[in-house]
Amino acid sequence: MNRPHRNHPAWWAFAVHRLSGLALALFLPLHFWALGQAIGGEAALDGFLRWTENPLAKFAETGLVVLLAAHLAGGLRVLAIEFLPWSPRQKAAVAVSAGFALAAGLLFLFNVGVA
């Protein structure tokens, strides 16, 4: 089946925005569970915080930051499409959005000291 529209950068920007939103929605129950550890007392929260120091958790946090940045960049792109006049520079805007998301993840990764 030939789907040439899926080779367009705007389609990929759409797909990344939707998939990052879905992944963030799937992350929310885990986030609420982690916050709930504070209700369980200091020992439960300290145990969870110790677990978050392992490299796999740091890597997952980096992925979360990339997802958040990608979703933010995609949302800004959608707002620009809705409220700004159409421009042939839309392809450049998609590339800038992707670069922003990756840069945010790399900055986070270097800041946590895993890399």
The CATH number linked to 93 is 1.20.1300.10
Determine how many CB atoms are found less than 10 A away from the CB of residue 103. 12
Q: Classify residue 94: in a domain, yes or no.
A: yes
Structure tokens at 16: 């990344």
Q: Classify residue 33: in a domain, yes or no.
A: yes
Q: Classify residue 38: in a domain, yes or no.
A: yes
Q: What is the pLDDT of residue 115?
A: 47
CB contact at 8 A, 9 and 95: yes
The string of pLDDT tens digits covering residues 12-71 is: 888 888 999 999 999 999 888 888 888 888 888 888 889 888 889 888 888 898 899 889
**Closest C-alpha among 4, 2, 114 to residue 59:** 114
Give the DSSP letter of residue 3: -
pTM of the model: 0.66
**Closest C-alpha among 9, 38, 3 to residue 97:** 9
Q: What is the pLDDT of residue 1?
A: 61
Range of the domain at 70: 10-112
